[in-house]
A and B are shown apart, each in its own frame.
Chain A
Amino acid sequence: MPAPTLRKLTGVFLRVGNTTFGGGLPTMAALQRELVEEKKWLTMEDYALAFSLARVTPGTNVIAFCAATGARIMGWSGALAATLAETGPSAALAVLMTQGYETWRSNAWVMAGVAGTIAAVAGMMWASIWYMVRPHLTGFKSAVRSLAITLGAFAAIWKFGLSPLSVIGLAAVVGLLWKEPPGEAES
């Protein structure tokens, strides 16, 4: 097993983070293969702790996961290197894509293609909602609780005009007071 260096660590996160499509979970799965099984820089317990805490850290789960695993392997410098390697090239590509959309805005053919992708984005957003709700529909009581919170949040902003931050705060309070049904909360 080669000892981790900052260069090797950055290389792993650069390669995995910027070639894995499909969001955070595939990236975290690929990093598990690299960091735990192949390079053995992390134990499975470290990986599991980083994985679970990434889900409760504000922001994008996979970026928090990279910060946690980078820190576990090489401290703060590892965290910084892993995070920037994971996000930097993809962010540059996102800027290029945005520039491309803007530059070609007056071209009817390009805009026909862009119109198609924008409709797909709307569908993708609903898929994201389904992705967030689905793991909590593990039984009748759990489904009732989950749908009540989701639709309650929707109504709070759509019908009553509450700010998103207020709704998030209210959801946290409801979650504290309304216990998850036993045996149905292990998603």
Chain B
Amino acid sequence: MNLFLLYLLLFKAVVTSFSGMASLPVVRNDFVVTRHILTDRQLNTAIAAGRTGPGPNGLYLVSVGYFAAGLPGALAGLIALVTPAFLIIPLMHWIGAYANLPRIRGAIRAVILGSAGLLLAASIPLARDAATGPLAAVIFVASFVVLSFTRIETWWVMLGAAVAGLGVKLLG
């Protein structure tokens, strides 16, 4: 895949979102639905790989880039992930004061809420792909509850889920 196009697609997803995972609907639309570069399973794997280690939530884009074009693709993903962050420097100088205006703040919060709705829509096909049996359903609900309502780190949840998957295979 053309690296510059890959960068542009990932950059578009990052620059139109306001949190790490909020770029997912745009990524899925471009890479899975429209261009068929990745499958839902690969996208799920990219998210798992990006969230298993430390670092920011958006790291799954590096894995998406890797799936699309190997190590150069991963580098394109990393550059796309960090490029919009530098917008904050002129923001700090010029429009920091406006960010607290009620209307602007309301619009930004609405974009975050809209992104949550988009994430919900994108999560349904991925959840279907992940739902391979009763154990998967239990892990799905348990990880949602643990990550939403406790302070246990994502890494432990992933490890617990992997151990549960191995345990069920061991038992038969």
Contacts and interface: CB of A to CB of B under 8 A. Distances in A.
A132 B19 contact: yes
Contacts, number: 386
A87 B140 contact: no
Contacts of A170: 114
A123 interface: yes
B64 to A, nearest CB: 9
Contacts of A178: 106, 110
Contacts of B89: 67-68, 71, 76, 79
Contact of A120 (B77, B96, B161): B161
Contact of A17 (B55, B113, B116): B55
18 contacts: A59-B58, A60-B57, A60-B81, A91-B55, A95-B74, A98-B74, A118-B45, A120-B158, A123-B140, A126-B123, A127-B147, A149-B114, A150-B113, A164-B25, A168-B115, A171-B110, A173-B107, A174-B114
Main secondary structure of the interface of B (DSSP, over half): helix
Contacts of A3: none
B111 A172 contact: yes
Interface of A: 17-24, 27, 49-50, 52-68, 71-72, 76, 79, 83-84, 86-91, 93-95, 97-102, 108-109, 112-133, 136, 146, 149-158, 163-165, 167-168, 170-176, 178-180, 185
A109 B16 contact: no
Given A58-B16, A123-B144, 20 more contacts: A22-B154, A59-B18, A59-B83, A67-B85, A68-B92, A71-B88, A83-B82, A83-B86, A87-B78, A94-B63, A95-B66, A117-B165, A122-B126, A126-B120, A127-B147, A128-B119, A132-B19, A132-B119, A150-B113, A179-B102
Interface residues of B, number: 109
B127 interface: yes
Given A97-B53, A132-B116, A63 B81 contact: yes
B143 A153 contact: no
Main secondary structure of the interface of A (DSSP, over half): helix
A163 B56 contact: no
Counting chain A CB atoms within 10 Å of each CB, the highest count among B29, B92, B102, B105 belongs to B92
Contact of B56 (A24, A84, A150, A175): A24
A146 B118 CA distance: 14
B8 interface: no
B59 A94 contact: yes
Contacts of B26: 164-165
Contact of B22 (A91, A132, A185): A132
Nearest to A175: B110
Contact of A121 (B44, B87, B142): B44
A21 B130 contact: no
A119 B132 contact: yes
Contacts of A154: 117-118, 120-121
B44 A118 contact: yes
Contacts of B18: 55-59, 61
A58 B162 contact: no
Contacts of B168: 112
Given A112-B168, A149-B114, A180-B109, A93 B163 contact: no
A129 B59 contact: no
B81 A108 contact: no
A53 B85 CA distance: 11
